[in-house]
Structure 1
Amino acid sequence: MTSDTNDSEPETSETACFEAGVKFGALYHQFAGTPVSPDSAASLARAMEESIENQPFCQSVTVEVLTEKLEEEIDHGYTELTGRFMEVEVVVEQDGVEVVAGMAMEDGYPLMEVESVRE
């Protein structure tokens, strides 16, 4: 990486947003494809929350597996976890900056977005 005279250090809010993205990337890609049923949804959600909350700067993770949508998709007792079956919120706090990020489906694709930045 080369230095340019126009380069500057990232702002704390930018690094906190980056951390939120790291948490979401880990959460989604670690657990997407996991076999899930309405009976196992709550324990899977807890495992996802507890796993990601171990990461630095993570204040909280809330995962809701949408069991009604799961029931619509199940053919053989379970289906694979994807973004369309989850509502997720991640809260990161870094050096006095709090970032709240969420996930929503858009055009059939799970998009993660920063919902708020508070200093």
Structure 2
Amino acid sequence: MSSDETPTDAEAACFEAGIKFGSLYHQFAGTPVSPDSAPSLETAMEESIENQPHCREVTVDVRLDELEAALAESTADYTELTGRFLEVEIVIGYEDCEVVTHMEMEDGYPLMRLESVRS
């Protein structure tokens, strides 16, 4: 895109999705989490990000199987939240465009991916 071009609605929606994922991940990484606190943390993350402009829906699932496996190797009853414990979907609406994004673990890395762009 050259400096005199205006971004398309799809480009703007994708940009907004990236902002939401950056906010979600970096705001909550390191938060203490346990199997008991996971549901309230999911809700807090969803509601926090849904406050942002153009955000239609956020779904956060803490992967309890991974969380419990990590805690089995520890003497603590909680651990810090990292991408390995999360599956996230964010839906952005910008003008007449809808973007669906998803984050899940892939090869040991929390990969954030664009799933679809609909105009």
Q: TM-score, normalised by structure 2?
A: 0.93
Displacement, 1:115? 0.3
- What percentage of residue pairs aligned between the two structures are identical? 65
Q: Which residue of 1 aligns with 2:56?
A: 59
Q: What is the identity, as a one-letter code, of the residue corresponding to 1:12?
A: D
Tell me which stretches of 4 or more aligned residues in structure 1 moved more than 6 Å: none
1:87 equivalent to 2:84? Answer: no
CA distance in 1, matches of 2:70, 2:12: 38
1:26 equivalent to 2:27? Answer: no
RMSD over aligned Cα, in angstroms? 1.1
Q: Which residue of 2 aligns with 1:42?
A: 39
1:14 equivalent to 2:11? Answer: yes
Count residues with an aligned counterpart.
Answer: 115
CA distance in 2, matches of 1:42, 1:106: 23
Q: Tell me, which stretches of 5 or more residues in structure 2 are unaligned?
A: none
In the TM superposition, what are the counterparts of 1:67-78 in structure 2 within 5 Å?
67-74=64-71, 75=74, 76-78=76-78
Q: What is the identity, as a one-letter code, of the residue corresponding to 2:6?
A: E
Q: What is the identity, as a one-letter code, of the residue corresponding to 1:45?
A: E
Q: Which digits, 9 at most, give the CA deviation of each residue in 1:3-33, with x for residues without a partner?
A: 75xx411111000000000000000000011
CA distance in 2, matches of 1:27, 1:34: 12
Q: TM-score, normalised by structure 1?
A: 0.93
Q: Tell me, which stretches of 5 or more residues in structure 1 are unaligned?
A: none
Q: What SS does structure 1 have at the residue aligned with 2:18?
A: helix
